[in-house]
C-alpha cells in the first residue's frame, strides 16, 4: 500500500521536476540574441506566438476544450494595451496587467456558455464569440481604427528603463521574460492539485464528479486563466509592434494558433513554443517559395499531421528527448493518447 | 417588407440546400466537418465554367453541378474522410480546416481570385410586382426548386428503404451492421448526396451569395449555425433553422445595417445557451 503511494509520488515528482533540457532550452533562447542580432524582431514574434499557443494548451491540452475562437482574447488584450498606449498610459507593465484583466473578464463571462453541450456546441460558441468581437471592432471604427488599425500608440520604456529599439532587442528580451515567467506559473498551475483535477475532468467528467470534483468551477477557472494568458500575448504583440489592426481578431489567427499547438504537441506546455518555432521557420521557408499561396501549405501540414497521427509523431519526439536527457533510463510512454 | 421576407426565405432555402448534407454527417453522424463549403465551391465553379465557357444552358448545368460535387464527395469520402469517423473531434477539426485552406489556395492559384459570374437566362432575370413588393423571378425559382428538394429529401429519409437504413446506421452502426445493413456504403452514398446538394446549392447561390475562392471560409459559419441551431432531429430542424437564419440575416442587414452580421451570431449564441443541443432535438440516442 505505502509502496504504491511512494511509487505514485515518485512518478509525479519525476514528471514535474525541472529537467536539464529545459535549462538548456532557455539558455539557448537567450543566446539567440547575440548570435543573430538582426533577427530579434522575428524572435519576439515567435515568443509571443508561443505564449498564445501556451494559453490554448491550457484549455485544449489540460481541459479538453476545442476552441475555434481563441483569437478573441488575443484581440481583446491587444486592443486594451493599444488603446491605453494611445491615450497616455503607455507603461508596458500596466498595459499587460490591464490586458490580462480585460481578457480574463471576457473569458470569465463567456466561460459559462461552455459548460453545457457537446464539443460541437463549444466550438460554435467560441467561434461565435470571436466573430461577434470581430464585428464589434469593425463597427466601432472610431475607437478601434477599424481596418486601418489603431494609430498613434506611444509605448513607454519597459519598467521606465529599457526603451523599445528599432532592431527589437528590447522587444525580444521583454517578450521572452514574460513568456518565461508565465510558463513557470503555468507549470505551477498544471502540476498543482487543481491541475490534476482538471485532467480528471478532461478524462471523464462524470467520474470526476463522483469523487467530488466540480467540473464547472474547474472549467471556468482554467478558461479565465487561459483568456488572461492570451490577453497578455495580445498586449505583447501590440506593444512590441506598436500596431493593432482587425487582424488580431481574425478567424485565421484562431486556426493558426491551433496548428502551432498541434505541431508542437498538445498537453505538455512546451508544445506551443516548439510549435511556434517550427511554424515560423516553415512560414519563412514556404513563403519564400510561394508567398501568395502559403495557406495551401498550412492546409497540407494539417491534413498530413492528422493522417499520420500527431500523437504518434510527438511520442517519438518525446522518446528521443528522453533518450538524450535520461541516458539508459526507459522512456515513459505517454498516457494521453492521440487527442 | 414583403420583399425582405421573400428575399429572406429565398436565402434561407439556399442555406438549407447547402447545409442539409452537413446535417447528416455532422448532426447525425457526429463527424465535425468544416470543409463542406469546398463542395459548394466546386459546384459553383463548374456551373460558372459551363455557362460561360461552354455556353450550356443554366438549367442543364444544375444537375451537372450536382453530379460533379457528388462524385468529388464520394472520392473524398472513400479516400480521406472515412478514416476520420472514429477519430477525436480535434483531429476532425484540424483535418477539415486543412482541406478548406488547401481548397481556397488551390482555387486561387489555378483559376484566380476574381468572383465568378453565372450567365442566367433572360426569363430568370425579370422582376415581378406581387403583394405590394417587388420580387425577383430568380428568387422565386430558388424557393420553388429548394422547396421541392426539401420535400424530396424528407420523403427519401422517412419513406424509403434507404432512409430507414440510414437512420438505423446513424443510431447504432454496430447493430445495423449486424442486421446486414451495408453501413459503410450507406454513409458513402449519404456523404456523396450531401456533397452533391452542396454543389447544387453553390450553383444556385453563385449569383446571390457571390462565388470566389474564399467562399468555403466565408460561409462555413453559416452552415455550422444552421446545423447546430437546427439540432439533430433530422432534416426538418435544419429546414426551419435555415429559414430563420435567412430571414434574420436579411432583415438584420436591412433594418440595422450598423451591426450587420452581429444579429445572426448573437442569435446563434442565444439559441445555444438556451438549448445546447439545438432547437429541435430527438429524445434517446446520444
- Which residues on chain A are in Cβ contact (under 8 Å) with B89? 66, 119-120, 123
Say if B205 falls within a structural domain.
yes
Say if B277 falls within a structural domain.
no
Say if A33 falls within a structural domain.
yes
Residue A73 in this model has a pLDDT that exceeds 90: yes
Summarised one tens digit per residue, pLDDT across range A27-48 is 888 888 888 888 888 889 999 9
Q: Check: CB of residue A70 under 8 Å from CB of residue A255.
A: no
Q: How far apart are CA A228 and CA A105, in angstroms?
A: 8
Q: ipTM score here?
A: 0.78
Q: Inspect the interface and report whether the beta carbons of A251 and B105 lie closer than 8 Å.
A: no
* SS3 at position B34: coil
Q: Check: CB of residue B229 under 8 Å from CB of residue B271.
A: yes
- Which residues on chain A are in Cβ contact (under 8 Å) with B269? 113, 125, 128-129, 132
Q: Inspect the interface and report whether the beta carbons of B26 and A120 lie closer than 8 Å.
A: yes
Distances (CA, A) of B266 to A44, A215, B239, B257, B258: 36, 26, 20, 15, 14
Output the average pLDDT for chain A.
83
- Domain holding A137, by residue range, is 22-250
Q: Inspect the interface and report whether the beta carbons of A127 and B221 lie closer than 8 Å.
A: yes
Q: Check: CB of residue A256 under 8 Å from CB of residue A130.
A: no
Our count of domains for chain B comes to 1
Average pLDDT over residues A239-260: 87
Say if B209 falls within a structural domain.
yes
Say if A205 falls within a structural domain.
yes
Predicted pLDDT at A330: 45
Q: Inspect the interface and report whether the beta carbons of B94 and A251 lie closer than 8 Å.
A: no
Q: Inspect the interface and report whether the beta carbons of B108 and A123 lie closer than 8 Å.
A: no
Residue A331 in this model has a pLDDT that exceeds 50: no
Which of A97, A215, A78, A223 minimizes the C-alpha distance to A153?
Answer: A78
Say if B126 falls within a structural domain.
yes
- Provide the number of CB pairs (under 8 Å) joining chain A to chain B: 130
Say if B271 falls within a structural domain.
no
Q: Among partner residues A60, A121, A305, which is closest to B228 by beta-carbon distance?
A: A121
At residue B83 the predicted structure's pLDDT band, cuts being 50, 70 and 90, is confident
Say if A322 falls within a structural domain.
no
**Structure-block grid coordinates of residue A329:** 533510463
Say if B204 falls within a structural domain.
yes
Output the average pLDDT for chain B.
83
Average pLDDT over residues A208-218: 86
Residue B117 in this model has a pLDDT that exceeds 80: no
Altogether, the residues listed in chain A come to a count of 339
Q: Who's near A152: CB < 8 A, 6+ residues apart?
A: A86
Average pLDDT over residues A191-198: 88
Say if A271 falls within a structural domain.
no
Q: Who's near B115: CB < 8 A, 6+ residues apart?
A: B210, B211, B212
Residue A334 in this model has a pLDDT that exceeds 60: no
- The reply to whether A292 touches chain B by the CB within 8 Å rule is yes
- Domain holding B102, by residue range, is 2-215
At residue B284 the predicted structure's pLDDT band, cuts being 50, 70 and 90, is very low
Predicted pLDDT at A266: 85
- The reply to whether A266 touches chain B by the CB within 8 Å rule is yes
Which of A78-87, A187-196, B269-278 shows the lowest per-residue confidence on average (mean pLDDT)?
B269-278
- The reply to whether A165 touches chain B by the CB within 8 Å rule is no
At residue A185 the predicted structure's pLDDT band, cuts being 50, 70 and 90, is very high
Say if B183 falls within a structural domain.
yes
**Structure-block grid coordinates of residue A335:** 498516457
Say if A261 falls within a structural domain.
no
Q: Inspect the interface and report whether the beta carbons of A131 and B265 lie closer than 8 Å.
A: yes
Residue B233 in this model has a pLDDT that exceeds 80: no
Q: How far apart are CA A243 and CA B102, in angstroms?
A: 29
- The DSSP secondary structure of A22-61, one letter per residue, reads HHHHHHHHHHHHHHSGGGHHHHHHHHHHHHHHHHHHHHHH
At residue A146 the predicted structure's pLDDT band, cuts being 50, 70 and 90, is confident
Say if B268 falls within a structural domain.
no
**Mutate which: A106, A112, A128, A259, vs B, most B CBs within 10 A:** A128
Summarised one tens digit per residue, pLDDT across range A278-320 is 888 888 887 777 767 777 888 888 888 888 876 666 677 667 7
Residue B31 in this model has a pLDDT that exceeds 90: no
Q: How far apart are CA B243 and CA B9, in angstroms?
A: 6
Q: What residue in A sits closest to B79 (Cα-Cα)? A: A307
Our count of domains for chain A comes to 1
Amino acid at each position: 500500500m505505502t509502496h504504491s503511494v511512494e511509487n505514485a509520488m515518485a512518478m509525479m515528482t519525476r514528471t514535474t521536476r525541472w529537467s536539464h533540457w529545459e535549462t538548456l532550452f532557455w539558455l539557448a533562447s537567450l543566446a539567440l540574441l547575440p548570435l543573430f542580432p538582426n533577427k530579434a524582431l522575428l524572435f519576439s514574434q515567435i515568443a509571443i506566438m508561443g505564449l498564445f499557443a501556451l494559453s490554448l494548451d491550457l484549455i485544449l491540452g489540460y481541459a479538453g476544450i476545442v476552441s475555434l475562437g481563441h483569437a478573441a482574447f488575443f484581440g481583446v488584450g491587444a486592443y486594451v494595451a493599444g488603446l491605453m498606449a494611445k491615450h497616455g498610459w503607455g507603461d508596458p507593465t500596466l498595459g499587460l496587467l490591464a490586458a490580462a484583466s480585460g481578457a480574463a473578464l471576457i473569458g470569465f463571462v463567456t466561460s459559462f456558455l461552455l459548460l453545457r453541450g457537446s464539443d460541437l456546441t463549444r466550438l460554435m460558441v467560441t467561434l461565435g464569440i470571436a466573430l461577434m468581437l470581430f464585428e464589434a471592432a469593425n463597427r466601432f471604427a472610431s475607437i478601434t481604427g477599424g481596418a486601418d488599425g489603431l494609430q498613434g500608440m506611444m509605448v513607454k520604456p519597459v519598467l521606465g528603463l529599457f526603451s523599445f529599439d528599432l532592431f527589437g532587442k528590447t522587444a525580444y528580451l521583454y517578450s521572452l521574460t514574460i513568456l518565461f515567467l508565465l510558463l513557470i506559473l503555468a507549470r505551477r498551475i498544471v502540476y498543482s492539485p487543481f491541475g490534476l483535477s482538471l485532467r480528471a475532468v478532461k478524462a471523464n467528467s462524470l467520474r470526476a464528479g463522483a469523487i467530488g470534483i466540480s467540473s464547472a468551477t474547474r472549467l471556468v477557472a482554467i478558461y479565465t486563466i487561459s483568456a488572461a494568458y492570451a490577453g497578455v500575448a495580445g498586449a505583447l504583440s501590440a506593444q512590441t509592434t506598436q500596431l493593432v489592426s482587425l487582424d488580431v481578431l481574425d478567424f485565421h489567427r484562431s486556426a493558426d494558433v491551433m496548428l502551432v499547438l498541434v505541431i508542437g504537441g498538445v498537453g505538455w506546455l512546451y508544445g506551443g513554443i516548439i510549435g511556434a518555432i517550427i511554424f515560423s521557420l516553415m512560414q519563412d521557408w514556404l513563403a519564400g517559395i510561394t508567398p501568395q499561396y502559403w495557406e495551401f501549405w498550412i492546409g497540407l501540414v494539417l491534413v498530413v499531421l492528422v493522417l499520420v497521427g500527431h500523437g504518434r509523431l510527438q511520442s517519438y519526439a518525446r522518446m528521443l528527448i528522453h533518450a538524450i536527457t535520461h541516458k539508459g533510463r526507459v522512456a515513459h510512454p505517454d498516457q494521453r493518447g492521440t487527442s | 417588407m414583403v420583399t425582405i421576407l421573400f428575399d429572406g426565405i429565398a436565402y434561407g432555402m439556399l442555406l438549407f440546400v447547402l447545409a442539409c448534407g452537413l446535417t447528416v454527417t455532422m448532426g447525425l453522424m457526429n463527424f465535425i466537418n468544416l470543409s463542406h463549403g469546398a463542395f459548394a465551391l466546386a459546384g459553383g465553379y463548374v456551373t460558372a465554367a459551363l455557362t460561360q465557357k461552354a455556353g450550356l444552358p443554366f438549367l442543364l448545368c444544375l444537375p451537372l453541378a450536382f453530379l460533379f460535387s457528388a462524385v468529388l464527395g464520394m472520392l473524398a469520402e472513400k479516400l480521406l474522410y472515412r478514416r476520420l469517423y472514429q477519430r477525436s473531434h480535434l483531429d476532425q477539426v484540424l483535418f477539415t480546416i486543412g482541406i478548406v485552406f488547401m481548397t481556397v489556395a488551390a482555387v486561387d492559384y489555378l483559376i484566380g481570385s476574381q468572383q465568378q459570374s453565372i450567365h442566367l437566362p433572360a426569363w430568370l432575370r425579370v422582376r415581378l410586382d406581387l403583394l405590394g413588393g417587388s420580387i425577383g423571378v430568380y428568387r422565386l425559382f430558388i424557393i420553388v426548386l429548394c422547396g421541392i428538394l426539401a420535400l424530396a429529401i424528407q420523403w427519401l429519409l422517412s419513406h424509403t428503404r434507404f432512409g430507414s437504413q440510414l437512420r438505423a446506421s446513424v443510431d447504432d452502426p454496430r447493430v445495423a451492421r449486424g442486421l446486414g445493413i451495408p453501413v459503410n456504403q450507406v454513409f458513402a452514398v449519404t456523404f456523396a448526396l450531401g456533397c452533391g446538394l452542396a454543389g447544387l446549392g453553390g450553383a444556385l447561390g453563385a449569383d446571390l451569395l457571390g462565388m470566389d475562392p474564399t467562399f468555403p471560409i466565408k460561409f462555413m459559419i453559416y452552415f455550422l449555425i444552421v446545423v447546430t441551431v437546427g439540432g439533430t432531429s433530422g432534416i426538418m430542424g435544419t429546414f426551419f433553422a435555415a429559414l430563420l437564419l435567412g430571414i434574420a440575416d436579411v432583415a438584420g442587414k436591412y433594418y440595422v445595417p450598423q451591426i450587420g452580421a452581429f444579429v445572426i451570431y448573437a442569435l446563434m449564441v442565444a439559441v445555444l445557451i438556451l438549448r445546447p443541443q439545438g432547437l429541435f432535438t430527438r429524445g434517446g440516442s446520444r
